[in-house]
Amino acid sequence: MQLELKPYSACKVLVVDDEPISRMLLTSILEPFVNCISASNGEEAIDQCVIHNPDLILLDMNMPDVDGLTVCRTLKDKADTAQIPVVFVTSTIDVETENMCWEVGASDFVLKPVTASTLVHRIKNHLQGKLRTELLERMTFHDQLTGLYNRLYLSNEIPLLVKQVARDHSSLGVIMMDIDFFKLYNDNYGHLQGDICLQQVAAIIGAHARRPKDAAIRFGGEEFMLVLPYTDMNGVKKVAEDIVAAISSENITHYAGKDGKLSISAGYAVRPANELQDTGISSLIESADIFLFEAKEAGRNRAIG
């Protein structure tokens, strides 16, 4: 698992200003240190956040149509953009305006005309804070060996996801997966090779968590889990079968496996999220686990749901 801070050169800063000259000036100051993208109005800024997921937003407060305060409030109300630091750029500031900045969730503000060194240092400081928070989250919520989410993420964050999907009146799917005959694999090839095998399988499973809210989790040992919000039974079935096929096509040698190859078994289940708000996701996991057992009993290397 990657535990180093991302360098500034890999960070994206969204510069939002309705005046082209101001955008050009701010971008020219920051581009030697970070990657800059720009937007000329509030609506475009919100769209750019969805597309690019910037690490920080430098936002003009006074814009026609949608002003900076409204943009900031909108972004802070969305789960996908709430954690992006927002630094306002304004030509005037008084106590009332300053308080409004904090109330909508801004991290800081700078005054026009902008002093280049002050802007750079403030942007770097806020990026440093965000990157450190992200690193701490990776260490807290990710499995160290595979880099997938861990059980703490499952218990702390997935309930919030269930509530969000329930509000949208949609369904949530779970796939439970287990490496076939993994104890025999470890006994024959050794635990170091077993760890490499776990990493290979995890990478394939993680590659199938393609949407921002999909969550690939190391459930324990050689057992994995994939949470798929906003997905119906047909969608979950396809993902489960695709993962089983992808593991098989990787041709990882296993003397005890079918045709001498490593395989996994999978069980999957889907339920409307509003049915899970009271009981939690555990009942859905139990259903998927039952189907996983059936997949094992049916000969392994398959997905059943």
The CATH number given to whatever domain includes residue 279 is 3.30.70.270
Are 120 and 161 part of one and the same domain? no
The domain total for the chain is: 2
Q: In this structure, is residue 1 part of a structural domain?
A: no
Do 18 and 128 belong together in one domain?
A: yes
Which of 141, 179, 131 is CA-nearest to residue 13? 131
59 in a domain, yes or no?
Answer: yes
**Is the per-residue pLDDT at 85 higher than 90?**
yes
Residue for token pair 């909108």: 74
| Mean pLDDT value across residues 39-57 | 92
Contact 224, 201 (CB under 8 A): yes
SS3 228: strand
Q: 71-79, long-range: CB within 8 Å, 24+ apart, which pairs?
A: 71/16, 71/42, 71/45, 71/46, 72/101, 72/104, 72/105, 72/106, 73/104, 73/105, 74/46, 75/46, 75/49, 75/105, 76/104, 76/105, 79/164
227: pLDDT strictly greater than 90: yes
Q: Kindly state whether residues 57 and 160 are assigned to the same domain.
A: no
Give the per-residue pLDDT at 1: 52
CB contact at 8 A, 225 and 177? yes
Tell me the mean pLDDT in the region 66-78: 89
Catalytic residue among 103, 222, 250, 286: 222
Catalytic residue check, 222: yes
Q: What is the pLDDT of residue 293?
A: 96
Regarding whether 206 and 268 lie in a shared domain, the answer is: yes
Read off the CATH number of the domain in which 106 is found: 3.40.50.2300
Mean pLDDT to the nearest integer, 156-182: 93
Mean pLDDT of all residues belonging to the chain: 91
Query: Which residues, in sequence order, are CB contacts of 195 under 8 Å at separation 6+?
Result: 145
Regarding whether 118 and 185 lie in a shared domain, the answer is no
| Segments forming the whole domain that contains residue 177 | 151-304
pLDDT bracket for residue 3 (50, 70, 90):
low
Judgement on whether residues 69 and 172 belong to the same structural domain of the protein: no
Whether residue 155 is found in the same domain as residue 130: no
Residue range 276-296: mean pLDDT, rounded:
92
Contacts of 231 (CB under 8 A, 6+ apart): 171, 172, 173, 239, 270
Q: Average pLDDT of 2-9?
A: 76
Chain centroid to CA 185: 32
Residues 188 and 161 in one domain: yes
